[in-house]
A and B are shown apart, each in its own frame.
Chain A
């Protein structure tokens, strides 16, 4: 545990090189799969994706809510949800899976299988050697000689301080791992057929039911601190798929003036209250691109702790843009919580992209590809310039529409 805690403060983070010896018997660290944050002392759990943890300031604090704005076809947001749940399976946490579209049992069946360290290291090494051999086969790149002693930039922001696991998306988790954990399901069509309609607190009945289900589990299984757990303390991971979509009976998608404009915000408010007083962390995916009323998105953002938006390139013109050819989408960090402090852990760069390789899903810094040839045609250079402008919104003030005089 000490090694884990001290590993967090590396000089590359911008922190000092002083290392504090963590007390060996930390009360908080007794729960598997958690560690206290080096910065604000909150208990952190991994989101299942080490590179995402790094972007979010070390991990997801227990008692907070991570909101993921879905990409257009919901492919990558579902993957993040599954990573979060898979990390719970590996750490032995309790799971709560809620969905209105897919059966929770089906979601759990498709969790990615963990890559344990030796295997993963082996793969990384392999990858590295292939890259190296590629480099050696080419002639050394000519760079300004003053720069050649600079340290190499790390592409993926993970590596240094990780406590999550890596997962192989091409395989599903084995059943043995699965049997040891405890999980609860909430499948909306099932719940509706069980009980007649109820409508309370001016909230859509599906939200009320979901809240009641979460509350029941938190109280009965003893995740709230007021009623101490008899056995080993454990974390409850809550995953809710596509909240606010029309299948939950909410009409905020599709119309500008929905009937129950406050249902989702009320739900999030109560849910946050439940999370704050219990040993639980929640991940919610929301189809933000379908919500017409932007005020709702603003409110939802304010009511969640961490907000991350995914933007996939599928179907957009960026898919074929040479600037983005290595990536599958962009990731926007909209909000990071301020925990026990006035500032938040902002990561160094805002331009983050994700890519889904055959097995691994990673979040990386977006690099511009080198402009190697002398004879890049005018038009493609123009495209690149335009897209870099789009990329960094700071440059938004620059005039657009210069066609020929772009030097």
Chain B
């Protein structure tokens, strides 16, 4: 499923959440490379690493299609020079203004990283911007299909992470895979995927993956169901209280048959049951047939009200 995600099956906000234990930059670059190979224009808003470092390892024809907005050199506009991208400009309009450099076809916006932006702008403003970008861009005539954002999960409180995840269309959480997975030295990682499908479906999945040279993705299958840490395994060591009993708790088949053969003292035949459930015949019954003089109006039995 991660493969489909990289291949562009999902539009909207795609969040890649990594941590110090497992970096997500290479996965982000995989998304970039895949988008560029599809011929989309890719706008990278980089704040964390310089342009050369971001482009390292990518194919030359991929880098040719990258439109890098450099927020690394002077993010806070201290030098006063033009060019580059200040963090202040990260708003719906500001981002849409940068799109003019690209072609009019479908475009991908890459944020490297969202964590850095969140450190410099208030949370509501950032989230509103994320929602606005496709809309403002559409008004200006640009088509933004997806926003891929890298988020360092261990830098933010869990409440904030939950909130960002609720905004995203797809969330990929990367973490190191257990050692048994994967073959020689391709650094397998585990991805927990959360995907909103349509308006009424949510998919969750775990997958192992690794990233090959040139930033192509290779999935290594899913973790087995039983591989999850089994909590029930522990109490087995506790002594079984049913072990040394002086009586029999379990029945053999023969014993069970014998037990079922015994008629229970309160077991009735169908006949007796129905006779008990029906009214006894000896009891009186009231039959009532209304006659002509009967007054059908209950509320006014003597007809003295003017209704």
Q: Are B124 and A250 in contact (CB under 8 A)?
A: yes
A148 beta carbon closer than 8 Å to chain B: yes
Does A247 lie within 8 Å of B127, measured CB to CB? Answer: yes
CA distance A403 to B160 in the complex (A): 38
- For B38, list chain A residues within 8 Å (CB): none
Tell me which residues across on chain A come within 8 A of B240, comparing CB atoms. 404
Q: If the complex has contacts A189-B128, A251-B123, A404-B242, are A290 and B163 also in contact, measured as CB distance less than 8 A?
A: yes
**Complex: A287 Cα to B122 Cα, angstroms:** 20
For residue A204, which residue of chain B has the nearest CB?
B124
For B299, list chain A residues within 8 Å (CB).
Answer: 21
Q: A72 to B204: give the CA distance in the assembly, Å.
A: 13
Give per-residue flags for B217-248: 1 if the beta carbon is below 8 A from chain A beta carbons, else 0: 00000000000000010010010111000000
Contact A404 B202 (CB under 8 A): no
Q: Mark A87-103, 1 if CB is under 8 A from B, else 0.
A: 00000000000001100
Q: Would you give the shortest CB distance from A116 to chain B, in whole angstroms?
A: 24
A: contact size bracket:
35 or more
Q: Is the CB of A254 within 8 A of B160?
A: yes
Q: A248-B124, A251-B124, A290-B159 are in contact. List 19 more A-B contacts (CB 8 A).
A: A72-B166, A148-B277, A245-B166, A246-B123, A246-B163, A249-B124, A249-B125, A254-B157, A254-B160, A254-B163, A254-B164, A255-B157, A256-B157, A314-B202, A315-B202, A315-B204, A356-B200, A404-B238, A404-B240
| B268 interfacial by beta-carbon distance below 8 Å | yes
Q: Are B268 and A287 in contact, with the CB atoms below 8 A?
A: no
B217 CB, nearest partner CB in chain A, Å: 25
Chain A: minimal CB distance from B23 (Å)? 24
- Residues of chain A within 8 A (CB-CB) of B242 are 404
Per the bound structure, the CA–CA distance linking A403 and B239 in Å amounts to 11
Contact residues of A with B, CB < 8 Å? 21, 72-75, 78-79, 100-101, 110, 145, 148-149, 189, 245-251, 253-256, 287, 289-290, 292, 314-315, 356, 379, 403-405
The reply to whether B135 and A73 form a contact with Cβ atoms under 8 Å apart is no
A145→B124 CA distance, assembly (Å): 63
Among residues of B, the one whose C-beta sits closest to the C-beta of A312 is B202
Q: How far is the CA of A215 from the CA of B54 in the complex (A)?
A: 52
Which B residues are in CB contact (< 8 Å) with A149? 277
Instruction: Determine which of B159, B167, B202, B235 lies in contact with A292 in the assembled complex, contact meaning CB atoms within 8 Å.
Output: B159
For A255, give its contact among B123, B132, B164 (CB under 8 Å): B123
A249: B residues at CB distance < 8 A: 124-125, 128
Asked if B235 contacts A403 (CB within 8 A), the reply is yes
Residues A78 and B199 in contact in the complex (CB < 8 Å), given A247-B128, A255-B157, A290-B159: yes
> How long is the Cα–Cα vector from A215 to B231 in the complex, in angstroms?
56
Provide the residues of chain A in CB contact with B123, threshold 8 Å: 246, 251, 254-255
A-B contact pairs, 27 of them (CB 8 A): A73-B166, A73-B202, A74-B166, A75-B199, A78-B199, A145-B268, A145-B277, A148-B277, A149-B277, A189-B135, A245-B166, A246-B127, A246-B128, A247-B127, A249-B128, A251-B122, A253-B163, A254-B159, A254-B164, A255-B159, A255-B160, A256-B157, A287-B166, A289-B162, A315-B202, A379-B232, A405-B241
Task: With CB as the reference atom, state the residue of chain A lying closest to B122.
Answer: A251
Say whether B25 faces chain A, with CB atoms less than 8 Å apart: no
> CA A256 – CA B158 in complex, angstroms?
11
Decide yes or no: A110 and B235 within 8 Å by CB, A255-B159, A287-B166 being known contacts. no
Using known A-B contacts A251-B124, A405-B241, determine if residue A75 contacts B163 with beta carbons closer than 8 Å.
no
| Chain B interface category by residue count | 20 to 34
Instruction: Give the A-B contact count at a CB cut-off of 8 A.
Output: 80
Q: For residue A249, which residue of chain B has the nearest CB? A: B124
Looking at the assembled complex, report how far the CB atom of A61 sits from the nearest CB atom of chain B, in whole angstroms: 29
**CA–CA, A382 and B157, complex, Å:** 36
Q: Report the minimum CB–CB distance from A41 to chain B (whole Å).
A: 21
The answer to whether A189 and B132 touch (CB under 8 A), given A73-B196, A255-B123, is yes
Tell me the B residues contacting A by CB distance below 8 Å: 122-125, 127-128, 131-132, 135, 157, 159-160, 162-164, 166-167, 194, 196, 199-200, 202, 204, 232, 235, 238, 240-242, 268, 273, 277, 299
Rounded to whole angstroms, the CA-CA distance of A379 and B230 in the bound complex is 13
How far apart are the CA atoms of A314 and B199 in the complex, in Å?
13
Q: Does the CB pair B204–A246 fall under 8 Å?
A: no
- CB of A204 to closest CB in B, whole Å: 9
Q: Please name the residue on chain B nearest to A404 by beta carbon.
A: B241
Query: Which of A21, A75, A78, A254 has the most B CB atoms < 10 Å from its CB?
Result: A254
Q: How far does the alpha carbon of A314 sit from the alpha carbon of B273 in the complex, in Å?
A: 47
* B238 surroundings in chain A (CB, below 8 A): 403-404
With a cutoff of 8 Å between Cβ atoms, the chain A residues found around residue B127 in the complex are 246-247
Instruction: Kindly report which residue of chain B lies nearest to residue A76, judged by CB atoms.
Output: B200
Complex Cα–Cα for A73 and B204 (A): 12
Q: Residue on B with the closest CB to A315?
A: B204
Inter-chain contact A253/B159, CB cutoff 8 Å? yes
Q: Contacts A73-B166, A246-B124; is A189 near B202 (CB within 8 Å)?
A: no
Measured in the bound complex, the distance between the Cα atoms of B182 and A232 in whole Å is 72
Q: What are the nearest 3 A-B pairs in CB distance?
A: A254-B160, A254-B163, A292-B159
CB closest chain-A residue, reference B130? A247
- Bound state CA distance, A253 and B204, in angstroms? 23
**Given B131, B196, B277, which contacts A189 in the complex, CB threshold below 8 Å?**
B131
Question: Which residues of B are found within 8 Å of A78, using beta-carbon distances?
Answer: 199
- Chain B residues with CB under 8 Å of A110's CB are 199
Q: Which residue of B lies closest to A74 (CB)?
A: B166
Chain A residues, CB < 8 A from B204:
315
A379 to B159: give the CA distance in the assembly, Å. Answer: 35
User: How far is B132's CA from A402's CA once the two chains are assembled, in angstroms?
Assistant: 53
Closest residue of chain B to A146, judged by CB? B277
CA–CA, A106 to B24, complex, Å? 35
Cα–Cα, bound, A245→B135 (Å): 19
Closest B residue, CB atoms, query A82: B199
- Rounded to whole angstroms, the CA-CA distance of A249 and B277 in the bound complex is 67
Q: Taking the nearest CB of chain A, how far is it from the CB of B60, in angstroms?
A: 39
B95 to chain A, nearest CB (A): 14
